[in-house]
Amino acid sequence: MLRSHFAVAAVGALASLASLCPRPAHAQAPLLDGLGGTEGFGTECLSPNDDGSSSEIDLTPAFPGGLEFFGRRYTTAYVNTNGNITFAESLRQYTPDAFPIADQPMIAPYWADVDIRGSECGFGTGDEGCENPTENGVWWYLEEGRMIVTWDEVGYFSCNDTNKMSFQLILTQARYCGAPGDFDVEFRYNRCEWEVGGASGDDNDNGVCDPDEGGVDECTPAQVGFDAGNLTDFVSVMGSRMDGIRNRMCMESNIGIPGVWRFQIRRGEVECPDAGMPCDTGETGICGVGRTQCVGAGTECQPVLEAGDESCNGADDDCDGSTDEGDDLCSGAQLCDRGSCIDPCFEGGCPEGEVCTEAGVCAEEACEDVSCEPGERCVGGTCVSACDGVACPAGQTCRLGRCQDLCESVSCDACQVCVEGTCQLHCIVRGCPDGEACEETGECVEEDCLGVRCGPGRTCREGVCADLCEGVTCPEGEVCRVGECVVDTGPPDAGPMPEVDAGPEVDAGMAAEDAAAPAMDGGVGADAGDGGGDDDGGCGCRAAGAPRTPGAPASLLGLLLGLTLIRRTRRQR
């Protein structure tokens, strides 16, 4: 078994707010209910207790073949008061150890010193029978393919219920790209107001570690994650057993929905949840820009863009350490300067405010002696990112001054889809944010655009196909055409004009003019063929003296213009 010792990278950096915000805004992710029972979380629950557990729970009504977890198959589990479920035996330990620990395979949405006795502060073991509590309840519910465990408005030791925690653990059989025993895990956090109990270092009885209470050894907040129980394999959410873990779980996410964390268990192992983070590959040029990708039980930094032919764009396209090198980057006599092909200048030939440099290019006076790094350009004497002010077409992202489809060179595993250069779970698995729906491609789209198909150069916005170039601002020297930013070479070429055979008695220099004007008094117009009047179906023009077909030349020109604009593009919505 591969070692899977890594931490879950949080989405965005969130500084610890423990000492500044003892009661963060709650009601983040709504808990799943409607499961029966007095509170909607099911009919099975723990009796009031501290450090108690359920009796052994048979999982086969939900998962007939059991759950595959770190190389072992489990058909039973225990729900423990202290914010976790275990598979080998019940767990009474209230202060969480750092993962990994021995002989206790567990899934812990919030392992901490939970106390559900309330203000009465009685005694119990948890398995005396469900008393249907309106708060301070630990519930569980099983149905085909799913188990939901809910910690509803629970307090902390000792009998303190001033601050509350409300969270859920949801286990779901993998129905999509899953093998027998595979399952998905979701942690949901609705209310997050404490992170440590009185016996774990909470000296001030407020549920948080105070700044003067020292580190982990003196004050130990909640642990979140997965442990195989073999002292080797585990996954710990970053920030576990540290001040502020309650805020992280309620306010952050690994899928972009505050308070919701999702993981996949495949072939017994937790698939890496920290893929897609920006990283440096250590290579030069565009090859240095990377994203972490899942490889086995961990991640590797892989380049977003692969080396290619050098072009005039201010980037090191061939990843050799040099930028815009070569004499054939521009056509004709043009020069490559600061990522753009321009005509060489002459003294006095530059626009007002610019000067002709020794290199033969016009530049802002303030930029004459400024040298910018690759991926930058000079504006007003200052180097700025080449992507400043750029708004790329849908499906593309600006990197080093170019609008790129970052998924062109990315290969994702089964059950994943590439989104902006990173491999993400198919939306059937990861879900979609509010207002979006899961498309068959695996990407989330606007609800109004679900199933809408648009042609080349168009995309769906608010349920209507719109021009992909609408709202696009291409990098300097480029224009948007058919949904792509391309080098600006002037208006699109309409192609060669239709050839007109003027016939033996018509001046060729007047043929085009005569063809565009109506024939009068039976005069001779443009000859459509051999002048014999034989219609063999091969010519759409009129014969000499024949009536004009309204709009025929304009239609032909429009067709030719349209053909020049057709190019292969990635399917857009």
pTM comes to 0.55
Does 510 or 299 have the greater pLDDT score?
A: 299
Contact 420, 397 (CB under 8 A): yes
Does 528 or 445 have the greater pLDDT score?
A: 445
Does 116 or 483 have the greater pLDDT score?
A: 116
3-class state of residue 211 by DSSP: helix
* The pLDDT of residue 30: 95
* The pLDDT of residue 499: 46
To which residue do tokens 């949801």 refer?
A: 170
* The pLDDT of residue 421: 74
Closest C-alpha among 152, 184, 177, 171 to residue 38: 152
Could you tell me the two tokens for 491?
């208006």
Quick one: pLDDT band at residue 509, thresholds 50, 70, 90?
very low
pLDDT at 376 exceeding the cut of 70: yes
Phi-psi region of 122 (alpha: psi -120 to 50; beta: other; left: phi over 0): beta
Residue 55 burial class via C-beta count within 10 angstroms: exposed 0-12, middle 13-18, buried 19 and up = exposed
Please give the C-alpha separations between residue 103 and each of 68, 88, 134, 150, 394, in angstroms, as whole numbers.
16, 7, 34, 25, 50
Query: Phi, psi (5° rounding) for residue 471?
Result: 80, 5
To which residue do tokens 């202060």 refer?
A: 95
pLDDT at 305 exceeding the cut of 70: yes
Does 554 or 208 have the greater pLDDT score?
A: 208
* The pLDDT of residue 344: 84
Helix intervals (H) in 396-464: 427-430
| Average pLDDT over every residue of 240-246 | 94
Average pLDDT, the chain: 78
| Across 42-46, 312-316, 459-463, least confident range | 312-316
Going edge to edge, which strands form the sheet with 298-303? 278-280, 289-295, 298-303
pLDDT at 381 exceeding the cut of 60: yes
Please give, one letter per residue, the 3-state secondary structure of 182-207.
CEEEEEEEEEECCCCCHHHCCCCCCC
pLDDT at 124 exceeding the cut of 60: yes
| Average pLDDT over every residue of 241-262 | 92
Helix intervals (H) in 136-200: none
Contact 205, 160 (CB under 8 A): yes
| Average pLDDT over every residue of 149-165 | 95
| Average pLDDT over every residue of 170-183 | 88
Could you tell me the two tokens for 302?
């892989």
pLDDT at 543 exceeding the cut of 60: no
| Across 83-92, 173-182, 230-239, 506-515, least confident range | 506-515
* The pLDDT of residue 335: 82
Host H or E run for residue 165: strand 160-173
| Across 218-232, 284-298, 380-394, least confident range | 284-298
Contact 440, 431 (CB under 8 A): no
Q: What is the pLDDT of residues 333-362, one digit of tens each?
A: 888 875 677 778 877 778 888 888 877 877
Q: CA 510, CA 378: separation in Å to the nearest integer?
A: 52
Q: What is the dihedral of CA 106, 110, 111, 113, to 10 degrees?
A: -150
- Which distant-in-sequence residues (6+ apart) come within 8 Å of 513 by Cβ? none
* The pLDDT of residue 526: 37
| Average pLDDT over every residue of 107-128 | 92
* The pLDDT of residue 90: 97
Q: CA 98, CA 101: separation in Å to the nearest integer?
A: 7
* The pLDDT of residue 99: 92
3-class state of residue 123 by DSSP: coil
* The pLDDT of residue 491: 67
* The pLDDT of residue 441: 83
